[in-house]
Amino acid sequence: MKNIEKKMQKNSSAIYWQINNIDENLLYIAKELHSLNLSRGVLGEINGILKEYFRSIDFVRNQSLEVCEEFAVFIIDPSVERFKVKKEDVKTRIERINDVLQDQASKLNDFISSIAGRESEISTPAPILFYESGINMLKNKENILTASLFIIKNLKKYKYEINSKNSTSN
């Protein structure tokens, strides 16, 4: 039992920390934006995308904390504002996390694609910043997906073992 329980804990906390890494990449992009020579149009586009991404990160981070708590992992992060999310099962929460991250990654990818050929509006280091941060966020998203798939695949086994453990201890 301990083995599957520890793996579920490890994977649920991995989801949280990978979301945290995405947030750090977004913060880095936001910090560097003002040092780049961007046109008002491009700056407005990326600021809009980042605002929406940050709101999404708050949502998925809270969802991931709920997933962690399902497996007795309690993460205290004073930099995170915790808010109530509706009661859902673990699989639904994980699907929401992945759906939201996919949607935001698509929007960022569309923006990165749209800046190709707009050299007059963008300074040289900007595309590199967006590409590198985008690649880092894709790696984080891939790690989230891997951890998510592990949890979903092993959820029934975990619940069975928990129920067996609880019924034998009575």
Query: % helix / strand / coil in the chain, to the nearest 5?
Result: 80, 0, 20
**What's the whole-number mean pLDDT along residues 128-132?**
76
What's the predicted TM-score (pTM) here?
0.86
Contact criterion met (CB below 8 Å) for 152 and 7: no
Q: CATH number of the domain that 27 lies in?
A: 1.20.140
Distance between CA atoms of 148 and 135, rounded to whole angstroms?
Answer: 20
Q: Please say if the pLDDT value at position 130 is more than 60.
A: yes
Structure tokens at 19: 């979301």
Q: Please say if the pLDDT value at position 35 is more than 60.
A: yes
Give the chain's mean pLDDT. 86
Q: Please say if the pLDDT value at position 1 is more than 60.
A: no
For residue 169, name the pLDDT band (cuts at 50, 70, 90): low
**Which 8-state DSSP code applies to residue 117?**
T
Write out 10-72 in H/E/C secondary structure.
Answer: HHHHHHHHHHHHHHHHHHHHHHHHCCCCCCHHHHHHHHHHHHHHHHHHHHHHHHHHHHHHHCC
Query: Can you give the pLDDT at residue 16?
Result: 96
pLDDT tens-digit series, residues 69-95: 999 999 998 888 888 888 999 999 999
* Count of alpha carbons within 13 angstroms of residue 60, beta-carbon side: 31
Q: Please say if the pLDDT value at position 119 is more than 80.
A: no
For residue 124, name the pLDDT band (cuts at 50, 70, 90): low
Structure tokens at 33: 């934006």
For residue 168, name the pLDDT band (cuts at 50, 70, 90): confident
**How many domains is the chain partitioned into structurally?**
1
For residue 117, name the pLDDT band (cuts at 50, 70, 90): low
Which residues span the domain enclosing 116? 2-169
pLDDT tens-digit series, residues 133-143: 878 888 999 99
